[in-house]
Amino acid sequence: MALMIISRKDKKSKQKKQDKFSCFKALMALRLLWITKGFNRILAEAGVTKREQGLSPKELALATMVQPLVGSKSEKETAKRTAHKIRSADALQKQINRFHNDAQNSFENLLPMTAQYLVSTKPSNIMVLDDTPIEKSGKKMKWAGKYYNSAEGYFYLGYELVVLALVWGRSFLPINFIPRRSKIKQRKSKKTRKSQSKLSLALKLISDALARGIKVGYIVFDSWYFALWFVKRLEKLGLHWVTVAKRNRVFIYQGRKVKAECFARMTRCAGCYPMKFIAELPKYGLVAVVVNYRGKKYEVLVTNDLTLSAKAVVRTYKKRWKIEVLFREAKQHYGLEKFHNQNWYAIIAHFALSLLALFLVRFFSIFLKDQNLEIIKQMFKKSFVKIKKELTIPLGKWQIIFSEFINCFNISKELQICLLSV
């Protein structure tokens, strides 16, 4: 028992240390990128402004993004920890609340505009589309509804968040999102407002990304998005798609109707996999069907790019798993689910700022590798001094060693030596 208690304590202390370093890592990333990339202009162009005295929109947005990283469970606690320019924490809390609840602030444009500004210059090859459940207990939350969690197999109250992400070099960045609204009965009326379709929301996200100049060749999604009208629209947009088919999906192969599971039997009999077939998808046209075995389980992958090899199709679809890792990180470290707002505009602001913090921290690690060492050294000097002044956050005996902070990033030893000499 004693050994178990010690190990638990060690795990807790290690987790706290990692959380504190991730907080400082995010602060450094946000400050550096605001200095170098002009985020004040992005906030203004996205329509996120402030209409009263007090802190600037940049500082209010930063305070919100830091909230989950410093371990705060509420805006009041965040205000107490980050109120360095306002004497009263209550005043900062009220400013944050008003900033989120303002209907004129277009927080939904903040993440896609940031992606357009930072990512559109470098062409990518793959976008990934998926949704994640946001479970809540508050019945008075705006547009909260009852949804089915297909992964766990139960119904829950809350939201479904449809997210579009981009494979950008070695990193994986969220570039846009839309929360799905539920079906709600109107008071004193028999009319009901229809719930929004995930497919229509997904198509809106993809069209918006292409309109913003983000260049991709393939889009990857799971079987829940494999609808005929949806893939037809993707082809009209000039995109190749890769997805997985359910076992009962019907194809026409060699003049007869064949279910997807029949391709798996043929592959097993042939004894070589992944194996590629050219078949016809009814009411669509020719597609490539690739069967890949993983142990005893198999996947039937489908794509409209007939030129791709079987291994390339499997490699492309494997990129989809990165979005599951992104959802887990956003919920555990960036507080994607941790909100209690009833106002719809405040909920949108929370989603936008949580995903933006994740975007910036991931982008920062790439940004470090692509820049000249001397430029990074000068930036670190300016930003580190500023953050040191701003981090009057009472987090106990938090002693940040700069060398340990640098080790948080997977960067070369040459760059580490350069930064440690600052």
Give me the pLDDT at residue 113, please: 87
* Contact criterion met (CB below 8 Å) for 175 and 142: no
pLDDT above 70 as % of the chain: 64
36 pLDDT band, cuts 50/70/90, is low
Under DSSP, the state recorded for 336 is: S
Whole-number pLDDT of residue 52? 61
E-assigned strand segments in 25-152: 126-135, 145-149
Lowest-confidence segment of 33-42, 93-102, 266-275 by average pLDDT: 33-42
Average pLDDT value for residue range 80-91: 56
Cα–Cα distance for residue pair 26/227, rounded to 1 Å: 39
Task: Give the amino acid at 92.
Answer: L
Q: Is the pLDDT of residue 416 over 60?
A: no
Separation of alpha carbons 105 and 107, rounded Å: 6
Residue-wise pLDDT for 262-283, tens only, equals: 998 898 888 888 899 999 999 9
Nearest to 239 by CA among 150, 147, 305, 156: 305
Residue 140 has pLDDT above 90, yes or no: no
Tokens 């002009």, located at residue: 38
The model's pTM is: 0.79
Report d(CA 106, CA 399) in Å as an integer: 38
Residue 70's pLDDT is what?
52
pLDDT value of position 378: 58
pLDDT of residue 103: 74
Cβ(301)–Cβ(340) under 8 Å? no
The answer to whether the peptide bond before residue 274 is cis (omega within 30 degrees of 0) is yes
Quick one: average pLDDT of 218-232?
95
Single-letter amino acid, residue 227: A
Cβ-based neighbour number of residue 231 at 10 Å = 22
Instruction: Please report which confidence band the pLDDT of residue 370 belongs to, taking 50, 70 and 90 as the band edges.
Output: low
pLDDT of amino acid 396: 35
Residue 200: per-residue pLDDT: 93
Residues 6+ apart with CB under 8 A from 110: 42, 43, 46, 48, 352, 353, 356
pLDDT for 88 beyond 70: no
Residue 296 CA to residue 298 CA, distance in Å, equals 7
Q: 306 falls in which pLDDT band (50, 70, 90)?
A: very high
